[in-house]
């Protein structure tokens, strides 16, 4: 075989090999294109399914209270034909901001936010609006932003109920105020309501406020530390604690118990958490403020759907957030103690009789 023949044969082999490679590429591209078309079609089908998509950003789901809100909200939204994407920020402002951006990118129509920090989250409202997304502040107000709607309870009234109840139990004496998280606008409203009731009694000299502290992130441990220090600073001479919510009340009661003062020092709460309802019927916590969360969550879902459809939210008030008067749906809180526990929390099915009275001898259970 001549050298020229060998060269020509090798050239032909190389040419065929190159043609085969290009042919393979040509057959791959249509398949890739089909794959992309299928992805695009799936997304399009999902977007045009007729379902409203709602994003719900929680400050945290570590508190029992918010777990109830999530479940009731999602249930109501599903009844109305909507899907809900839920995110929890674990009490971190930056995480919440990033999660909200992610929810917006997923094509939601409405963004519902329980802000960790009502001021830090404010810029997300403008981002949402640029993407055509409405923003609903749920339970806690978003500050200095063009929020579309707000659903909550009358939070000043919450503080009033707490102070009114405790001052009836303890008309005179040393008071300690254990407030909530300083980043939560609601905590400031609770304090305002409390002081509306307390200040006239302070002015009269009937009560003395021996201290006031704020529990970061509403954490039980933070409240425990605060109460321990308050008792030490006042030689245990504290007659009443106006406490802003139940998770912080748990910490305060633990500190009181260590000094054999649980049940002797009047203490308020809020949210009707199960552990606190148990403490109330056991006589270790005086009261809680029950905010029927099923009503709030149901109303929240209704408002979110109305916003998505461009319909009236049926606001019954407005709350100023430092920039605008936000159209608001405000619900009424209820003071609960051992005397009306059955007629409120248990009757509503928020907790069962068995759960609330599990630590009480059965012969002392109320008759239903």
The percent of residues above 70 in pLDDT, for the chain, comes to 86
Q: What is the pLDDT of residues 248-271, one digit of tens each?
A: 999 999 999 999 999 999 999 999
Let me know: does 73 contact 300? Beta carbons within 8 Å: yes
Q: What is the pLDDT of residues 273-309, one digit of tens each?
A: 999 999 999 999 999 999 999 999 999 999 999 999 9
Over residues 173-189, mean pLDDT = 96
Structure tokens at 172: 């005179």
What is the predicted pLDDT for the residue at 130? 98
Give the side-chain half-sphere CA count within 13 A for 90. Answer: 2
Among positive and negative, which fits the CA dihedral 300, 182, 227, 238? negative
The pTM assigned to this predicted structure is 0.78
Q: How far is CA 191 from the centre of its chain?
A: 19
Nearest of 207, 209, 251, 212 to residue 228 by alpha carbon: 251
Structure tokens at 342: 């059955």
What is the predicted pLDDT for the residue at 39? 25
Report whether pLDDT(326) > 70. Answer: yes
Hunting for tokens 């919510």 — which residue is that?
Answer: 245
Which of 25-39, 219-233, 347-361 has the least mean pLDDT?
25-39
What is the predicted pLDDT for the residue at 31? 32
Q: How sure is the predictor about 212, in pLDDT bands with cuts at 50, 70 and 90?
A: very high
Report whether pLDDT(186) > 80. Answer: yes
Cα–Cα dist 286/35, whole Å: 64
What is the predicted pLDDT for the residue at 49? 58
Q: What is the pLDDT of residues 147-159, one digit of tens each?
A: 999 999 999 999 9
221 vs 43 pLDDT, higher one:
221
Q: How sure is the predictor about 367, in pLDDT bands with cuts at 50, 70 and 90?
A: confident
Give the list of residues 6+ apart from residue 356 with CB closer than 8 angstroms, or none.
Answer: 274, 277, 278, 281, 341, 345, 346
Structure tokens at 108: 């939601």
Q: Identify the H or E element spanning 24.
A: helix 3-47
Q: How sure is the predictor about 11, in pLDDT bands with cuts at 50, 70 and 90?
A: low
311 vs 5 pLDDT, higher one:
311
Report whether pLDDT(191) > 60. Answer: yes
Distances (CA, A) of 35 to 32, 121, 149, 292, 303: 5, 39, 42, 49, 39
CB atoms within 10 A of CB 171: 12
Cα–Cα dist 129/125, whole Å: 6
Report whether pLDDT(179) > 50. Answer: yes
Let me know: does 46 contact 273? Beta carbons within 8 Å: no
Q: What is the pLDDT of residues 119-162, one digit of tens each?
A: 999 999 999 999 999 999 999 999 999 999 999 999 999 999 99
Cα–Cα dist 18/365, whole Å: 88
The percent of residues above 90 in pLDDT, for the chain, comes to 85
Let me know: does 331 contact 319? Beta carbons within 8 Å: no
Let me know: does 268 contact 286? Beta carbons within 8 Å: yes
Q: What is the pLDDT of residues 31-73, one digit of tens each?
A: 333 333 322 222 222 344 579 999 999 999 998 899 999 999 9
């Amino acid at each position: 075989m001549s050298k020229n023949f060998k060269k020509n044969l090798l050239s032909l082999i190389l040419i065929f090999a190159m043609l085969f490679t290009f042919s393979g590429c040509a057959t791959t591209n249509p398949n890739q294109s089909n794959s992309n078309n299928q992805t695009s079609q799936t997304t399009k089908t999902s977007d045009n399914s007729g379902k409203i998509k709602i994003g719900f950003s929680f400050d945290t789901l570590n508190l029992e209270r918010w777990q109830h809100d999530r479940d009731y909200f999602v249930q109501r939204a599903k009844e109305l034909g909507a899907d809900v994407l839920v995110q929890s920020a674990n009490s971190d402002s930056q995480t919440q901001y990033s999660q909200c951006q992610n929810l917006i990118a997923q094509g939601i129509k409405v963004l519902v936010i329980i802000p960790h920090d009502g001021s830090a989250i404010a810029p997300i409202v403008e981002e949402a609006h640029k993407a055509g997304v409405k923003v609903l502040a749920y339970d806690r107000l978003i500050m200095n932003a063009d929020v579309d709607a707000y659903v909550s309870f009358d939070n000043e009234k919450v503080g009033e109920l707490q102070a009114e109840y405790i001052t009836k139990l303890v008309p005179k004496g040393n008071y300690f105020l254990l407030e909530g998280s300083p980043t939560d606008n609601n905590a400031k409203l609770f304090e305002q309501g409390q002081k509306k009731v307390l200040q006239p009694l302070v002015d009269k000299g009937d009560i003395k406020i021996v201290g006031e502290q704020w529990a970061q992130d509403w954490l039980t441990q933070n409240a425990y530390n605060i109460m321990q220090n308050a008792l030490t600073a006042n030689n245990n001479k504290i007659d009443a604690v106006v406490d802003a919510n139940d998770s912080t009340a748990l910490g305060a009661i633990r500190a009181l118990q260590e000094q054999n003062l649980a049940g002797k020092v009047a203490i308020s709460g809020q949210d009707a958490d199960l552990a606190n309802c148990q403490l109330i019927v056991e006589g270790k916590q005086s009261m809680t403020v029950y905010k029927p969360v099923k009503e709030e969550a149901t109303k929240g879902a209704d408002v979110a759907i109305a916003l998505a459809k461009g319909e009236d939210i049926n606001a019954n008030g407005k709350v100023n957030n430092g920039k605008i008067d936000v159209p608001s749906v405000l619900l009424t809180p209820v003071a609960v103690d051992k005397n009306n526990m059955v007629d409120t929390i248990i009757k509503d099915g928020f907790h069962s009789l068995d759960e609330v009275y599990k630590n009480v001898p059965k012969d002392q259970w109320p008759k239903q």
